[in-house]
Each structure stands twice: as structure tokens, then as C-alpha cells.
A and B are shown apart, each in its own frame.
Chain A
């Protein structure tokens, strides 16, 4: 089924309008996704399909008009930011303080990873310290010990 769907999507992506029109449709779609509807629904302009939405419908029209003037997606977004303020963008920009929005989650996760790494190494060292006095010599037959290790591994794997 998954196979059929992926094939369907692949076919769907290749048929339809001519190349230029497809490019315009793609820009329209991307720009609508980059902007937030101002009606309070919390959706992007593209997703908002409220009946007679006072924000979504005019914004979609305005995007189409901007595309018709030959502007790029970035230029159109700058136009909307200048007109409505930064809140119209559906995600924070990647400049100034807004960089924190994008980077802090990954920095925090990386720090967490680092802490876990350090902790794991410390625990690993603690495990390496022999639990019995160094003077005690193992009396177990090495073959039996290897067998025990294998069986313990197997048991752990199954538990």
C-alpha cells in the first residue's frame, strides 16, 4: 500500500500544469505556508480555509499579485513583513534574537548528550574498578567463565 501511495505521489508531482505555471503554483504554495493567517486560527495562510476568512483570502490574493509582478519568494516575504510586521511570518527569521528560537533546542539537546556522554564514561569507569580485592585471584576455570559470560549475555538478550 505504501508502495502504491509513493508511486501515486511521484506521478502526481510530474503531471499537471506547464513548467512556468507549476513554478508559480509552487511559489504561491510556499509563500502561503510561510505566512500566518491573521484571523486568529493559528494556521498558515495556506491551511486556513475558513469561510469568507477576512485575512486568509485577501492574503492569498495579495501573494498571487506579488508573484505576478515577478518578485521572488524572499522579496514577497520582505514585502509582507514590512507591511504587517514580523508576526505575519509563520516561523521566526534566522537573524538576531530569533536565531535563539532555532538553535537553543539543538544546543540544549547537544548539552544533554554531552552530559549523558560524560556520565556514561564515569559509570563505565566505575564498573571497571574491580569489586573484589586485587589480591583475590579468580579460581574459576577460564573455559567455564567464558561459558558463563556467553550464557549471561544470552539471558540478558532474551530478558
Chain B
């Protein structure tokens, strides 16, 4: 099986090289046969990469420990679900996984465009295969996932226990899908530059891909936060680790692109800027991959230090050189209309939104690389940790949410003082009331008060947009409220889906602010029967239990949860914080236990434990409004689905395109 996998990788690499050459030559010579050959090579690349992934998965499921990768990242006692997740748990597997997702994207793009974008497709094929060839080249020449050992170990080393978690099985695939699918808009952008067809066609073709990619980047980041929250046991979910930053930066630039592209579509402006954002987003995904694999910056998420760094850096430089070169070459063709009637307009607001998003991306990049810079310049190692990122990004985040409220409501072209007052008086009033209420209730953190106020403002603008639209439909068409609402959304999915996404983002924002600023925590050494109160809850240590199986030894505490403090407290449930001792990597892990409500999470961690005295150290956190982050994620997903769902017109066109002309009823 390993031979089949290895052969598939080698053939996939060769086929990709052929596909690049055939597509480029075909496009230059206008040779349809070469172009068709390039297209077939793209399908073959997809099939061969799929075979390689299937081979590695089979080896993992068969526990063939003679294969170095299988021996390093799985064991015979590892549950099947995590054995599958081991496919991307190590560096070699993750590179193959990347190539596989790219192969799927490539095949879908080929199918979607079999009768469209004929001039651009050879360049799209060549670009996507170039990225694919790079990843397979790493597997062919540098790090072979099918490498066999000179001996067969009795047992595998097992997957890192921190990765043996539900969220870890869905976080990396989501993030990889988000990362890899940015290749599609990038490839179409390169094709547009190469062919000189720089109208809106490439943007329309990749609109859903850009949204798809953004959606998975969003999910990937949220799933990663959820993983950190339940696995790492420090009470938080985001530590501004370099690898977290690497996943966050492309999300920021992709978000900027999704907004600025609307200006190009509506106003024929910002063509160069949109190209730059597409290039930057793709380059940041490669930069992120470089960060995790180079060992240049230490991170808890990194794969072991490897010799991969220079290759990724080289590839990044090649990408940037080619794409920026093409962009400069085509600058004369990228002239936009660039007309602006007023700085008080949606166009100007979107520009500010882009400035802040890209500004945050730069801040995160700067903070991530600054330790390396400091070492180069001063020879002194320094740390740029969470306090830096929180301080610098807090004002930018608040400004961004404020603009999120302004953008959807302010008029295109020009907003008059009267229209500004009409649009913003009520939302501003709502924001001020919420801010004043927060202050009156004891909130003294400036940013928290401001953040709640701005969040209320942004939500109010969205609410008013929906309300006004509904009322207009009700008045004009006599529709009932729900009919009016559903048709309002259905008729303009992109706009109202976008508003729903905004609501999701505001919910996440409020969750982040509340859980960061109003977090409560206590650490206590307790005997059985002892209790501790925090934030309106009381937890009582009721006992300790131990379990064991072939894979893991587990010690968990029984902790009852009481709503209230003192004699009036009412028992509402039980949590079971746990310590696990994995047998193969012989590594202890902390499994937190969470009593979650919409208002707050009671987050209980079992620290140390003495079996003789049954004395245990607990760390208890009350994290306000964390649930709103996850609910915000669901709302964001719903909003994205609304945006991506084809409109009635699109569905009708698609169906009629599939029905042969002669078979249509007269």
C-alpha cells in the first residue's frame, strides 16, 4: 500500500508539472489540444492525490507501524476517529492533506468552468497545479509520508494527546479548507492578469469561492478557539500564539476583500486594491504554513522543527514576485472609474473598513515577527505576548465594529446630514443607552463600556434595516410579517445574509469582551466536602474516581454545582474535571469540565491531586457570555449560507443551461 501511495505522489507531481507546461503553452499558442491536455492533467492530479490520501489512511487504519508516519502518529489503541485525524496530525500527512484539498478544489473548478472562462482556464489550471506541484514536490523530495522503517515497531507512538479531542478532528480540516480554497480566487486573479481580461468576470466567477474560503477560515478559527478552551485548561480560548495569528491574518484580509469587492462590482472602483487583497490573502496562507513548519518562531502548535522553512519561504517569494510583477505589468489596464461624490458615503466607509482590517492584519503580523526582528537587530530575544496584541488591537476592534454599524446603513454616493440623522439617530441612541447602563451597573473598564455601546449600535442598525425592509413590503404588498421577512431576505440574499453575518460577528465580539473583562477566577485546595463560591455559583468537591482502559488512565473529580451562595444555594448539576494519563506518549492532560449557560460558563479544572489524602487543587473560572461566541459562530454560518444560496434567477439559469435547447417545451 505504501508503494501505491508513493507512486501516486510521484505521478501526481509529474502530472502537475505536465499540466502546468501544457496549460501555459496551450494558452500562449492558442493550442486547444494542449489546453485540453492540461485540463486532463488537472483531473489526473486530483485522482492521484486522492489515491495517495486513501493509501495513507488505509495504512493508518491497518496500523502498519512499519510506515514511519503511522508509527509516529497512531497506535493500535487509538480510537478510529482519531486514527483518521492522524492523517493531518503530523507534518507529512498534513502536507498531503493540503494537496488533497487543493486537488478537490481543482477538480470542482474544472467542472464548474468546463464551458466557461475558456481564455482564463489554462492559466487557472497552471496556477493551481503550480501550488499542487509545490506541495507534492515536498513529499517527493523532502519528506515522504510513505517512508518505511528498517524494522517494525510493536506499537506506535500514538497521536499527541492534546490532539485527541473532538474539536481537533474538525478544526484542522476547516482551517485547511479555508487556507487552500483561497487558491481559487488567487488563480483566477492570476488568470485575469495574464490574459488582460480584468473586468468583473473573474470576480463574479470566484465570488462564492471567496465566501466559501472565508467561511471555512471563520469556522477554523472558531473551532481552534473551542479546542483551546476545552483542552488547554487555562480558562481562555485565544492566546495570540504565532500559529493562531497565522490563521487569523488571512481571515482579516479575506474579510477586507469581501467588502471592497462590492465597491468594484457596484462602482467599478478599487480594481488594483482587490487584486492586491487576493494576492495578500493567498500569500498569508503560505506564510502561515511556513510559520508552523519552519521553527523560526516558537509556538505550541508548531510541527517539529524541520528543514521545510526555506522551501516555503522560497515558494512565498516566487508567488509574490510573479503576482506583483503581473500586477505592475497590468496596472495600465486596471484603471478604475474612481469617482467619489462624498466622503460621507458607503464607498468611503468601506475604504475605512478595509484600512482597519488590513491594519489589524499588519499589527498581528508585526507582533508575530517582531521577536525575530528584535533578535536580528539587537541580538536580544523578547516576547510579544497576549498583553501586546490585546492593547494594540482593542481600539481597532472597537472601530471595526462601529464601522460594521455604519457601513450597511450609510448611503452609496453621498449621505446628506439629514439622511445621516435619519439613519443613525436611533442606533446611536441605543448605543449610548447601553453604554450608560453598563457604566451605571458598575462596569468601569473604558473599552468594555465602549465595546458594549458600539456593539449595541451595530446591532441596532441591522435591526432597523430588517425592520424597515419588512415594513416597506408589508405596506406595499400587504404581506404578513414572516412572509415579508423571508421574501426580503430571499430577494437579496447577499445583502441580508451579510447582515446576519454581522450579527454573528457582533455576538462573537460581545462574547470576547465580556469573557475577557468580567472573567472571575479562584484557585483552591480542597478536601472532600469543601466548597468554594464564585460569581453567584458554589462548587462542592464530592469525591474522586479513577478509570482505566488500554489507552488512558483517568482520574476525575465529582464536583456538584450550586446556583447561589450560602444556605440559599440550589444544586443544579455536576461537573467532572479530569486528569488523564495517556499510556503511550506517557503524557498527562487536563480535561476541563464546563457548566455552560447563556449567561456564563462555570469552568472547572482539576489541578493536582493527592490519592492518599484525596486533597485536590481546583481552579474555577466564571467566564461570562462565552456561549455567545459559539452561538455567534452558528449565526455567522447561517448568514454565510444565506449569502451563498443561489437566487431564484441563478437556479433557473443553471437548470435551463443543463436542459438541451431542443428538449425544452415550446
Contact = CB atoms under 8 A, between A and B. Distances in A.
A98 B416 contact: no
Contact of A11 (B235, B358, B385, B442): B442
A155 B220 CA distance: 38
Which of A6, A13, A41 has the most B CB atoms < 10 Å from its CB? A6
A41 B419 CA distance: 52
Given A40-B298, A105-B392, A116-B351, A47 B607 contact: no
B626 to A, nearest CB: 11
Nearest to A33: B387
Interface string B201-242: 000000000000000000000000000000011111001010
Interface string A106-145: 1011001100100110111011000000000000000000
B391 interface: yes
B343 interface: yes
A156 interface: yes
B300 A101 contact: no
Interface stretch (B31-39, B43-51, B169-177, B598-606): B598-606
B308 to A, nearest CB: 20
A41 B625 contact: no
A130 to B, nearest CB: 12
Contacts of A5: 514, 518, 599-600, 624-625
A113 B382 contact: no
Contact of A90 (B233, B358, B388): B388
Given A101-B370, A112-B359, A9 B518 contact: yes
B261 interface: no
Contact of A101 (B351, B355, B384, B414): B384
B234 A48 contact: yes
Nearest to A101: B370
Contacts of B442: 6-7, 9-11, 13-14
Nearest to A152: B413
B360 to A, nearest CB: 9
Which of B352, B382, B443, B579 has the most A CB atoms < 10 Å from its CB? B382
Contacts, number: 189
A13 B396 CA distance: 27
B384 A92 contact: yes
Interface stretch (B182-190, B334-342, B545-553, B643-651): B334-342
Which of A14, A44, A109 has the most B CB atoms < 10 Å from its CB? A109
A51 interface: yes
B478 interface: no
B341 A153 contact: no
Interface string B287-303: 00000000000111000
Interface in B351-385: 351-352, 355-356, 358-359, 362-363, 366-367, 370, 374, 377-378, 380-385
Contacts of A41: 232, 300
Interface residues of A, number: 62
B385 A42 contact: yes
A127 B339 contact: yes
B123 interface: no
Contacts of B90: none
Do most interface residues of chain A lie in helix, strand or loop, or is the interface mixed?
Answer: helix
Contacts of B598: 1
Interface in A81-108: 85-92, 96-98, 100-102, 104-106, 108
B384 A157 contact: no
A98 B437 contact: no
Contacts of A69: none
B644 to A, nearest CB: 20
Contact of B382 (A12, A87, A108, A120): A87
Interface string B523-540: 100000000000110000
A139 B392 CA distance: 56
A42 B299 contact: yes
The 10 closest A-B pairs by CB, nearest first: A10-B442, A90-B385, A9-B518, A123-B340, A109-B359, A105-B363, A91-B388, A156-B412, A6-B441, A127-B339
Interface of A: 1-14, 33-34, 36, 40-44, 47-52, 85-92, 96-98, 100-102, 104-106, 108-109, 112-113, 116, 119-120, 122-124, 126-127, 152-153, 156-157, 159
Given A8-B518, A49-B523, 6 more contacts: A9-B624, A41-B232, A90-B383, A97-B374, A101-B366, A105-B392
